Amino acid sequence: METKKSYAVVTGASQGLGKAFAENLAKKNINVILISLPNQNLKEFSQDLKELYEVKVHYYETDLSVNENVMKLTEWLNRSFDIHILINNAGLGGTKKFTEATADYINTILQVNVAATSLITHQLLPNLLKQPEAYILNVSSMAAFSPIGFKTVYPASKSFIYSFSRGLHEELKGTSVFVSVVNPGAMKTNTDVCKRIEKQGFWGKLTLLNPDKVASYSIHQLFKKDSVIMVNPISWLIMKLLPVWIKLPLMTQAIKREIES
């Protein structure tokens, strides 16, 4: 694989799993382009990666919940770089009664998780198809495998990512682009997520993962051409075996604890 001239693009790269993806790629001597919201210390992180791993690093700060920003970002990427890896990691969710969620909260989740992932992939695909070998990794979640009350739009958005990724994988068979999806369970990424997981009790802790391990395992499996990457096979098996009438109320109860205390 040509990694000297071409780049890997990572969205949501300033923190959590995205930061771990960027570091892991740089360690493998792959040039990276980091994307995040403005004012997330991306410049400093880029500098660190350049110095530590002697790779080329570029960064771009933008709010991916605005479609116009997504189009500007992808135009810049296509104009300036050859891209052979795209990691659609940016994504967010939360726990709220649906009646108490604002329109803005719902719209941001849908825009970042669903619209930005689809549009970035669509706009960068011609660039990826020009490379001799290219990879797309979309970050879904274990939440893709069950509806969950008090999260509602988040698991639905991750089901979309799972379905979208598998469909595109099938469609691009026989091309140079390989599409994969990873479905992590809960990870200790930021303080908000950590607090939420602690309140979930058994279910949260059952699937708890380290973002660095998730990133390195996912990249390893991506290059091995694993189209559905399961980082926690035990919880995946439980999700697969349990019928929805059991897992839906169980998970909803566990999640409800986050907003009760």
Ligand X SMILES: NC(=O)c1ccc[n+]([C@@H]2O[C@H](COP(=O)([O-])OP(=O)(O)OC[C@H]3O[C@@H](n4cnc5c(N)ncnc54)[C@H](OP(=O)(O)O)[C@@H]3O)[C@@H](O)[C@H]2O)c1
Among 31, 146, 180, 189, binds ligand X (CB under 6 A): 189
Report if residue 200 touches ligand X, rule: CB under 6 A.
no
Question: Residue 8 or residue 17: which is nearer to ligand X going by CB?
Answer: 17
19: tokens are 């930061």
Per-residue contact flags (x/-) with ligand X for residues 229 to 258, judged by CB under 6 A: ------------------------------
In order, the DSSP letters of the chain are ---SS-EEEEESTTSHHHHHHHHHHHHTT-EEEEEE-SSSSHHHHHHHHHHHH---EEEEE--TTSHHHHHHHHHHHHHH--EEEEEE---------GGGS-HHHHHHHIIIIIIIHHHHHHHHHHHHHTSSSEEEEEE--GGGGS--TTTTHHHHHHHHHHHHHHHHHHHTTTSSEEEEEE----B--SHHHHHHHHHHTHHHHHT-B-HHHHHHHHHHHHHTT-SEE-S-HHHHHHHHHS-HHHHHHHHHHHHHHHHH-
Question: 3, 15, 159, 253: which one contacts ligand X (CB under 6 A)?
Answer: 15
Q: For residues 92 and 172, which CB has a smaller minimum distance to ligand X in the complex?
A: 92
Contact with ligand X (CB under 6 A) among 24, 65, 131, 146: 65
Q: How many CB atoms lie within 10 A of CB 172?
A: 17
With binding defined as CB under 6 A, does residue 63 bind ligand X?
yes
Of the pair 93, 131, the CB lying nearest ligand X is at: 93
Among 14, 31, 121, 221, binds ligand X (CB under 6 A): 14
Catalytic residue among 7, 154, 162, 217: 154
**Residue 154 bears catalytic tag:** yes
Between residue 105 and residue 124, which ones bind ligand X under the rule CB under 6 A?
112
Among 128, 150, 165, 184, binds ligand X (CB under 6 A): 184
Residue 78 binding ligand X, by CB under 6 A? no
Place of tokens 């969205």: 11
CA angle centred on 139, ends 133 and 140, rounded to 5°: 130
Q: Would you count residue 55 as binding ligand X (CB under 6 A)?
A: no
Which is closer to ligand X, CB of 83 or CB of 143?
143
13 binds ligand X (CB under 6 A): yes
Binding site for ligand X (CB under 6 A): 12-18, 36-37, 40, 63-65, 89-93, 112, 139, 141, 184, 186-187, 189-190, 193
Question: Any idea which residues carry the catalytic annotation?
Answer: 154
